[in-house]
Structure 1
Amino acid sequence: MTETALQRLLTLEKEVRDFGFLWPDADMIIEQALSECEEIKEALDNRQPAARVQEEVGDLLHTALSLCCFLNLNVQETLAKTADKFATRMKALKALAGEKGYTDLKGQPIELLGELWQEAKRRTSDQ
């Protein structure tokens, strides 16, 4: 059976924790995530090749996974819940756009997209 990248990273995380290489607290992991975001921004601002940007985004994803592990959250469950929440919000977004006469949002101003997204979040906040 082929191991997925997520499974491989989870295995490596467990291995490194078992070896004693541990984050001392969640705040340090969050700081690392913020640092990774800055590195992504810098790579984009400097028009680095896609491979470099991909590397930095991968580092951010790894840091998020490390935070899940540190907090003893099930990574698969966390991702599944996020996917479900996003699907629910997308459904609300599409309905809201339809109510306003849009068949899609291609080419619409970012301000409108933001307003519609915030309204979709409000409509689905109890779900």
Structure 2
Amino acid sequence: MILEQAIDECREIKEAIDDAEPPERVQAEIGDLLHTAISLCIFSGLDVETTLSKTNEKFEKRMRAIKMLTKKHNLPNLQGQSVELMLTLWKEAKEITKNVKP
């Protein structure tokens, strides 16, 4: 049930983006997805604060790796880069940081 709700929220985000809705609408839809993710944590018996903290640590670790990869690929910064390049860098960073402690 909660996973289906998350899928529905993702669809609503995609629709808002595809329809070029104002950023506030997209933000509201993303907020709904975050609320659903919190519900999923609770339903799964996980501590929401711990889950969020671990997620932030993982994100920060990957962002440090992305910045390192940006320098390695001689890119001035991440601004204005294509979505494809950003996804490639994210996947590379994910591999690099897989077994690295924070």
TM-score for both structures, normalised by structure 1:
0.69
Shift of 1:51: 4.2
Question: Given the alignment of the two structures, is residue 42 of structure 1 paired with residue 18 of structure 2, yes or no?
Answer: no
Hey, what does 2:55 align to over in structure 1? 82
RMSD of aligned alpha carbons: 1.7
Identity %: 53
Q: Which of 43, 54, 60 is the matching residue for 2:33? A: 60
2:74 corresponds, among 93, 97, 101, to 101
The alignment partner of 2:80 has SS state of coil
| Corresponding letter in the other structure for 1:58 | G
Q: Distance in 1 between matches of 2:12 and 2:96?
A: 34
Q: 1:109 to 1:48 in 2, by over 3 A?
A: closer
Unaligned segments of structure 1, at least 5 residues: 1-27
Matched residue, 2:43: 70
How much does 1:111 deviate? 2.4
Gaps of 5+ in 2: none
Distance of 2:71 and 2:64 partners within structure 1: 11
- TM-score when normalising by structure 2: 0.84
Aligned residue identity for 2:40 = L
